[in-house]
Amino acid sequence: MKLSNNKILITGGASGIGFGLTERFISENNQVIICGRREQALKEAQEKLPTLITKVCDLSIEKERIELFNWIREFHPDVNMLVNNAGIQNWMNISDTDFYGKAEQEITTNILAPIHLTNLFIELESLNTIINVTSGLAFVPFTKVPVYSATKAFFHSFTLSLRHLLKSKNIEVIEMIPPALNTDLGGKGIHDEHPGVSLFVDSVFQQMKDGKDVLTFGFSEMLANASQETVKATFKNMNQ
């Protein structure tokens, strides 16, 4: 995979990990397009990075995903990289009254949206790379975010199949597996004590430069490579 002279769509690129990747890809001489629901967040990102192209889009709505793809096909048909980064995380309990509604929103945003975008974007002749952002929680669920953890396990599994399926089309599929990092995921303050995004971005860029297609960092490196015994012990530790 080449790390410069790409045209990249990063979903959820205005904040957190997505913004860290956006900044780095731009500094490595790539053209970057980002999308998200909050127009103000996109505007602020664009003010910091003037070459950035932005698009308001709610990826949980099927029609908006199709509109986003049609816009890309019309105005940016040379996009060659899709980064499925946007995601939400709901802290909840199975007995909460709004559990089902929140679960549905999470499944739509974290699973259906990237699957649909992938299905649409492989129509672009220029597409040669897909980066899927999963999570260390794909390997060991954290029961305070039960549906979120399951969406990431799904996305991890789908990414393995996708890599196999797209080999014949010469589309490289990279899985980026962050550990807990200091972003606003799940709500402001929840992730404050975790490592900053820039350390993670430095590490995953080095791994991509080294030709890796599974990118881990710190705790997620341990989780992604853990034995069943370690998975069980970690589950117990994390959820007691």
Ligand X SMILES: NC(=O)c1ccc[n+]([C@@H]2O[C@H](COP(=O)([O-])OP(=O)(O)OC[C@H]3O[C@@H](n4cnc5c(N)ncnc54)[C@H](OP(=O)(O)O)[C@@H]3O)[C@@H](O)[C@H]2O)c1
Cα(240)–Cα(197) distance, rounded to whole angstroms? 27
Closest contact distance (angstroms) between CB of 166 and ligand X is 20
Least CB distance to ligand X at residue 36 (A)? 3
**Please, which of residues 61-100 interact with ligand X by CB under 6 A?**
85-89
The question of whether 148 is a catalytic residue gets the answer: yes
Stretch (H or E) spanning 176: strand 172-176
d(CA 111, CA 1): 25
Determine, following the binding rule CB under 6 A, whether residue 22 of this chain makes contact with ligand X: no
Asked if residue 37 binds ligand X (CB under 6 A), the reply is yes
Q: What tokens does 158 get?
A: 């789908």
Stretch that binds ligand X, among 9-17, 69-77, 116-124, 206-214 (CB under 6 A): 9-17
Are 34 and 108 in contact by the 8 Å Cβ rule? The answer is no
Assess contact for 180 and 196: CB atoms under 8 A: no
Spatial neighbors of 151 by CB under 8 A, at least 6 apart, are 87, 106, 107, 110, 111
Nearest residue (beta carbon) to ligand X: 16
Closest approach of ligand X to the CB of residue 183, in Å: 3
Which residues, numbered 47-66, are part of the site for ligand X (CB under 6 A)? Answer: 57-60
Q: Work out how close the CB of 108 gets to ligand X at its nearest, in angstroms, rounded to a whole number.
A: 8
Q: Is residue 133 at the binding interface for ligand X, with CB under 6 A as the rule? A: yes
- β pairing state of 214-215 and 7-11: unpaired
3-state secondary structure 99-139: HHHHHHHHHHHHHHHHHHHHHHHCCCCCCCEEEEECCHHHC
Question: Interaction with ligand X in 185-214: which residues (CB under 6 A)?
Answer: 185, 191
Q: How far apart are CA 103 and CA 99, in angstroms?
A: 6
Q: Are 114 and 60 in contact (CB under 8 A)?
A: no
Of 106 and 171, nearer to ligand X (C-beta) is 106
Please pick, from the candidates 9, 21, 41, 215, the single residue that binds ligand X as defined by CB under 6 A: 41
Establish if 216 lies at the interface with ligand X (CB under 6 A).
no
**How many residues bind ligand X, per CB under 6 A?**
31
Do residues 80 and 126 lie in contact, with contact meaning Cβ atoms separated by under 8 Å? yes
Residue selected from 14, 82, 174, 208 as contacting ligand X according to rule CB under 6 A: 14
The residue within the footprint of ligand X, chosen from 36, 72, 166, 204 (CB under 6 A), is 36
Site of interaction with ligand X (CB under 6 A)? 11-12, 14-18, 35-38, 41, 57-60, 85-89, 109, 133, 135, 178, 180-181, 183-185, 191
Annotated catalytic sites, by residue?
148
